[in-house]
């Protein structure tokens, strides 16, 4: 009898160890705003260097690439030309926002950076740091790819090469990589 009880106990214990709560798929649209794959991108409105207003707030006509950067960041300098080339290639299909984390930078340095690298995509200025805080930016650069439903599809911490980012863009656009 003790062996049967022990066998039953072991079987139930193994069953619990193997069984896992079903995890939410990254493809599931949720209303929760989190800077994580599968969740709504945190909403924001920022004014750019060009004095235009830029928003991320749920569904949109085009996917958006959010690249958080600072002018003093070496990897940001290295990836800036690639971001510009991808903007020139995909700008009609994908919005590119180069979010300057101005709390870690200065508007003057950001403007000089944009001019030096001849960046033509929008540069929203996170003057108060609220957006970079909502996106939990801890390193520069940090890039998010957000689909037309407003869902984060990719988070990249650190520099990303143009080939890899282009593959991510093709995937979010539904094109073959």
Residues tagged active-site: 73, 76
Torsion of CA 114, 115, 121, 127, to 10 degrees: 40
Q: What is each CA distance from 146 to 3, 6, 49, in whole angstroms?
A: 56, 51, 22
CA–CA separation, 29 and 111 (whole Å): 37
Reference 122, options 87, 92, 154, 77; nearest CA is 87
H/E stretch holding 98: strand 95-100
- Count the helix, strand and coil residues of the chain and give each as a percent rounded to the nearest 5: 35, 20, 45
CA–CA separation, 161 and 132 (whole Å): 22
CA–CA separation, 60 and 62 (whole Å): 6
């Amino acid at each position: 009898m003790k062996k049967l009880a022990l066998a039953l106990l072991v079987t139930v214990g193994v069953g619990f160890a193997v069984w896992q709560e079903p995890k939410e798929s990254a493809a599931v649209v949720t209303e929760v705003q989190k800077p994580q794959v599968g969740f709504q991108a945190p909403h924001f409105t920022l004014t750019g260097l060009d004095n235009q207003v830029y928003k991320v707030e749920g569904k949109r006509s085009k996917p958006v690439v959010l690249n958080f950067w600072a002018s003093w960041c070496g990897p940001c300098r290295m990836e800036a030309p690639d971001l510009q080339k991808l903007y020139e290639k995909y700008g009609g299909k994908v919005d590119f926002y180069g979010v300057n984390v101005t709390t870690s930078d200065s508007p003057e340095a950001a403007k000089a950076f944009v001019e030096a690298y001849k960046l033509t995509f929008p540069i929203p200025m996170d003057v108060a740091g609220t957006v970079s805080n909502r996106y939990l930016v801890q390193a520069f650069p940090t890039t998010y790819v957000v689909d037309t439903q407003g869902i984060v599809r990719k988070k990249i911490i650190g520099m990303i090469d143009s080939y890899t980012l282009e593959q991510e863009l093709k995937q979010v656009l539904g094109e073959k990589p």
